[in-house]
Structure 1
């Protein structure tokens, strides 16, 4: 349960007390020490045979994700927009594409909100948007769907090239040496996917560069017809980049299903692989079977 400052004047103190009992995700509060699990410690609720264990372990080893104060990870718990913003902030370094004075510009992000800095940065760098361009709300406690979580990464990494071309052209760069406290994993407009076909070059002109074929998402996903139209281009780009991880069925995206912590870990892991910040999973790992291959 999350509590906002409007219903509880001592919101930060209340959250700190809950965090100390392990009942709430750790918030960054001045004067409150942040518990950080050793990278060598396994989360007791993420056994070796859990489908997302290698993704979670790699992110924990990289200092990007930690668990609760009781050292659990709770991989099946669903994730909200504020929590995803916190992970984005910790995982990637990106240049701002717009600026806001503070996250409290949004009516539903009160002053002192635990994820204010993360929300501000995720919004300014273009990873996360408001529901509509003119919206005055961020919906921080709204659960994130799988399609939305994938689109956030495709948007923030500015993926525009098919796999096989240089993969570090996005404006986001992974944090090679995280220098911020690691967050636990608790909790729109791109350029057109493909440019118009170039005119036939004259003999004196440079050879025309062939354009990639549009991605037929139905070739990848049996439920492609359920992908929201507004997110289809971003899903296609993410698919080409190898960001998509589908469990338990490789050919089912389940785009409108809320994403879990384990599922979000897998996507962020693959985004860092795309950026060259993490090595890919070994092909021998059973978890690699759930990565959609472009």
Structure 2
């Protein structure tokens, strides 16, 4: 049965738009050269070339067109860094540069508490909010340095352009995407609308949306270009341009199955075989989802022998440390934890992150919550912002729905009180 990631009403108050996996603490950074402050030029200027965007790079037509219009820019060394993840502040700046929309709401006088007035993208963030593209968290936070997932970026464009789906969202998404079951509930209608509007661009597999993956700069250029095409501000790419093959719904046939070409080769010949696989519309299990953006956690679960547990029926609630959370541990400590001689300690730490039963954010209550390690974690909920804390860690993305439970991303690794990391075996 087709199933979407669920989004509870309680969590909607906490998080109107999903934030990607990562620490939420603001970090002081210098203004990226993509910071934009003026409206786009109506006509293209001189051709722009970047040293790291090859002539046959899939997103080159999108990147060049927007760079010519000064909607996006590169870096002082002549590069574009197409694979670099886009932060929320950076995407807000791109939006402010690309679109000239009317304001639909006001920002409170205090604004976003984590965006100081002298922040490099403060005005662009305000504009992206006031024109309806992007929203904050709990009414007071914006998390400007959080990387933005694809689902959130597409949602922002659909909301800002006031798009709505013409058909049933579930049917639209199921028809186009093999991973539709991983789309967060808040993004279902906007992504369906953006799909119908030919805004979505998926590389290299047009049927793989990868909604939870961080948006890259190349992908941002592609989405923005298609959004401007939708507005009639830019001409669509010509049909003979290879990049059009990745625009969802343009040059591809919609089907309930995904054809995958398998190439096998040896020294004398190469053959191609095409197989048909049924679209995946159910969210994966907890371990499968951990391999998407919790790569260190998934590796640790496998090392500890807990992967099969989190593939099981459950249900479970997992407070999942992000890769950045694990990276905050001393490198030597992390390396030791992953050694066979410390497997028992690693297992205890990981089980300390798992609770039996499925608890979405609105079902979490203040107080102690027993874990599979048989030791409780302390849940705190800020009544003003609905921000959830687990011990000293903050929940950075709640309610990542799995087939056997739910994941809440956190920005610190939880250590049971009886574990001393300084006593790990060498």
Same fold (TM over 0.5): yes
Which residue number in structure 2 is paired with residue 107 of structure 1? 113
Query: CA separation in 2, counterparts of 1:220 and 1:161?
Result: 14
- Pick from 251, 255, 258: which aligns with 2:211? 255
Which residue number in structure 2 is paired with residue 59 of structure 1? 66
Residues 161 and 231 of structure 1: CA distance in aligned 2, closer, same or farther (over 3 Å)? closer
Query: CA separation in 2, counterparts of 1:224 and 1:7?
Result: 33
1:36-88 CA-to-partner distances (Å, cap 9, x unmatched) read xx732311111111110000011112221111122211110000000000000
- Pick from 229, 233, 240: which aligns with 2:185? 229
Aligned residue runs from structure 1 range 17-56, under 5 A: 24-25=32-33, 39-56=46-63
**1:128 Cα offset (Å):** 0.2
Is 1:138 the equivalent of 2:142?
yes
Residues 135 and 283 of structure 1: CA distance in aligned 2, closer, same or farther (over 3 Å)? same
1:189-212 CA-to-partner distances (Å, cap 9, x unmatched) read xxxxxxxxxxxxxxxxxxxxxxx4
- For 2:228, what is the secondary structure of its paired residue? helix
How many aligned positions are there? 217
**1:135 Cα offset (Å):** 2.8
**1:28 Cα offset (Å):** 7.4
- For 1:93, what is the secondary structure of its paired residue? coil
Bigger CA radius of gyration: 2
Is 1:242 the equivalent of 2:249?
no
Query: CA separation in 1, counterparts of 2:227 and 2:139?
Result: 28
Check conservation: 2:198, 2:248, Cα contact below 8 A.
Answer: yes
Query: CA separation in 1, counterparts of 2:35 and 2:201?
Result: 28
Which residue number in structure 1 is paired with residue 243 of structure 2? 287
Aligned residue runs from structure 1 range 83-98, under 5 A: 83-98=90-105
Check conservation: 2:34, 2:93, Cα contact below 8 A.
Answer: no
Which residue number in structure 2 is paired with residue 274 of structure 1? 230
Query: CA separation in 1, counterparts of 2:47 and 2:168?
Result: 45
Aligned residue runs from structure 1 range 134-283, under 5 A: 134-160=138-164, 162=166, 212-214=167-169, 216=171, 217-283=173-239
- For 1:105, what is the secondary structure of its paired residue? coil
Check conservation: 1:250, 1:291, Cα contact below 8 A.
Answer: yes
Check conservation: 1:146, 1:256, Cα contact below 8 A.
Answer: yes
- For 2:100, what is the secondary structure of its paired residue? strand
Is 1:70 the equivalent of 2:77?
yes
Residues 224 and 137 of structure 1: CA distance in aligned 2, closer, same or farther (over 3 Å)? same
Relative contact order (C-alpha < 8 Å, sep 6+): which is higher? 1
Q: Higher strand share goes to which structure?
A: 2
Check conservation: 2:82, 2:216, Cα contact below 8 A.
Answer: yes
- For 2:92, what is the secondary structure of its paired residue? helix
Check conservation: 2:34, 2:90, Cα contact below 8 A.
Answer: no
Query: CA separation in 2, counterparts of 1:98 and 1:48?
Result: 42
Residues 26 and 41 of structure 1: CA distance in aligned 2, closer, same or farther (over 3 Å)? closer
Is 1:121 the equivalent of 2:77?
no
Residues 67 and 39 of structure 1: CA distance in aligned 2, closer, same or farther (over 3 Å)? farther
Where structure 1 has 5 or more consecutive residues not aligned to the other structure, the ranges are 1-5, 30-37, 163-211
**1:160 Cα offset (Å):** 2.8
CA RMSD in angstroms comes to: 2.2
Residues 7 and 142 of structure 1: CA distance in aligned 2, closer, same or farther (over 3 Å)? closer
Check conservation: 1:26, 1:69, Cα contact below 8 A.
Answer: no
1:90-128 CA-to-partner distances (Å, cap 9, x unmatched) read 0000111111266x6211112200000000100111100
